[in-house]
Amino acid sequence: MDPRRELQAWLTLLGTVGRGTARKLLLRHGSPEAVLAEAALPAPKAPLEPILAQTWAWLDGGPQRSVLRLGDPDYPAGLLAAPDAPLLLFLEGDRTQLGRPAVAIVGSRNATPQGVELAERFAAELAALDWVVVSGLALGIDGAAHRGALRAGGSTWAVLGNGLDAPYPTRHRGLADDIRRSGLLLSEHAPGTPPLPAHFPARNRVIAGLSHGCLVVEAALQSGSLITARLALEAGREVFAVPGPIRSPQSQGCNALIQQGAQLVQSAAEIDAILAPQRPRSAAPTPAASPAREAALEDDPLLVALGWEPSSFDALQTRLGWRTDALSARLLELELLGLVRTLPGARFERT
């Protein structure tokens, strides 16, 4: 069958009945075309012509745009095994990345500066360990996670709660452009679909299903991030949480997760150690450094200048006499190796 006619059948079915009913009808009839031909369906919930027209226009607008159908050979196995797996996913970016080992990083939209810094650092470290970072493009922790992975030269996927033709929030459309160039944008919703509140809890199950584990960096007790964590647990995934001050509202959700059995973590290396057995052999991270290389790193002039106490950028520059760009580049390299971490106030310390 012509791919467009098949996709039209999918969109017609989903525009007429909900996901649950569509799933039951597909089990009974075998394909959306058969459902439309054999089942007595109600009238569509909204006119289909505008949806179809916007979908064709979007698909024709870029070479990396496609639709993933339940049953396609590259449909991610982890997502397929999750409860209520999406029947359709609109994709933009490098589709060949589907199936790579991934970790979700989620958290508060109203993140603290420390939370944003932690999310970026965890994402950069996980990307350096060859994990894809998955999040929801929201303000706060989600955006920080995407930026951290991109900063490290890694891959990140953003799951949206609206159509891919107009990424939401609008403040992150530039970030969405960066993601589509090296990673993936994904959505269950056809182009033109607005970001309705009901879409986001359902979006969270896709984030959880795509990932081997879920890290919550900051979350209030009523945060949507806790929904993602619960969905990850229900899908058999590991849940990790970063502890925080007991009086901080943005830490109460994470602290509660830890009380309920989530893994307390302080570095990406801890997450990698727990999830490594789930990683496909072909995607294993690079071997640990040899003793000779570790000895060479111990003699690294920047590590020697840093010592074992936090130091400011200016202090390090005074000790070493390096140019600003050279010092910044080396600090980033050592941070990605897990040997240095950034502290508030533009200070650095050895890990």
Q: For residue 136, what is the domain's CATH number?
A: 3.40.50.450
270 and 124 fall within a common domain:
yes
| Cβ atoms within 10 Å, residue 326 | 12
pLDDT tens for each residue of 214-264: 999 999 988 888 999 998 988 889 999 999 988 889 899 999 999 999 999
Instruction: Please give the residue that has the higher pLDDT: either 44 or 118.
Output: 118
Report whether pLDDT(309) > 80.
no
160 and 274 inside one domain: yes
Is 86 a member of any domain? no
Same structural domain, 249 and 319: no
Classify residue 59: in a domain, yes or no: no
Question: Domain check: are 127 and 216 in the same one?
Answer: yes
Please report whether residue 52 resides in a domain: no
209 shares a domain with 265 = yes
Decide if pLDDT at 268 tops 90: yes
Banded pLDDT at 282 (limits 50, 70, 90): very low
| pLDDT at residue 101, as a whole number | 95
pTM recorded for the entire structure: 0.78
pLDDT tens digits, residue range 5-22? 899 999 999 989 988 899
Question: How does residue 280 score in pLDDT terms, banded at 50, 70 and 90?
Answer: low
247 & 297 share domain: no
Asked if pLDDT for residue 84 goes beyond 90, the answer is no
Domain count, the chain: 3
Higher-confidence position of 101 and 309? 101
Amino acid 345: pLDDT: 65
Residue 103 sits in the same domain as residue 168 = yes
Do 164 and 313 lie in one domain? The reply is no
Both 12 and 113 in a single domain?
no
How would residue 188 be classed by pLDDT, with cut points 50, 70 and 90? Answer: very high
Confidence tier at 71 by pLDDT (50, 70, 90): confident
Residue 330 has pLDDT above 90, yes or no: no
Q: What is the pLDDT of residue 1?
A: 59
pLDDT (tens digit, 9 = 90+) per residue, 18-31?
888 998 898 888 88
Confidence band of 185 (pLDDT split at 50, 70, 90): very high
Q: Does 78 fall in a domain? A: no
Residue 47 CB: number of other CB atoms within 10 A? 9
d(CA 47, CA 61): 23
Q: How confident is the model at residue 286 (pLDDT cuts 50, 70, 90)?
A: very low
Q: Interhelix angle for 113-128 vs 141-151, to 10°?
A: 40
Q: Is 123 exposed, middle or buried (0-12, 13-18, 19+ CB in 10 A)?
A: buried
Give the mean model confidence (pLDDT) for residues 201-213.
93
166 and 261 fall within a common domain: yes
- Per-residue pLDDT for 331 more than 90? no
In a domain, 63, yes or no: no
Q: Are residues 124 and 267 in the same domain?
A: yes
Predicted confidence (pLDDT) at residue 77 exceeds the cutoff of 60: yes
For the cut 50, the answer to whether the pLDDT of residue 193 exceeds it is: yes
Note whether 263 and 305 are same-domain residues: no
CATH of the domain at 307: 1.10.10.10
* pLDDT of amino acid 283: 39
| Structural domain containing residue 150 | 96-283
Residue 92: the pLDDT is 98
pLDDT band at 344 (very low <50, low <70, confident <90, very high): low
Across the range 99-106, mean pLDDT stands at 96
Tell me what pLDDT residue 289 has: 41
Is position 176 within any domain? Answer: yes
Q: Kindly state whether residue 56 falls inside one of the protein's structural domains.
A: no
Q: What is the mean pLDDT of residues 27-41?
A: 89
The verdict on residue 322 lying in a domain is yes
3-state DSSP of 267-313: CHHHHHHHHHHHCCHHHCCCCCCCHHHHHHHHCCHHHHHHCCCCEEH
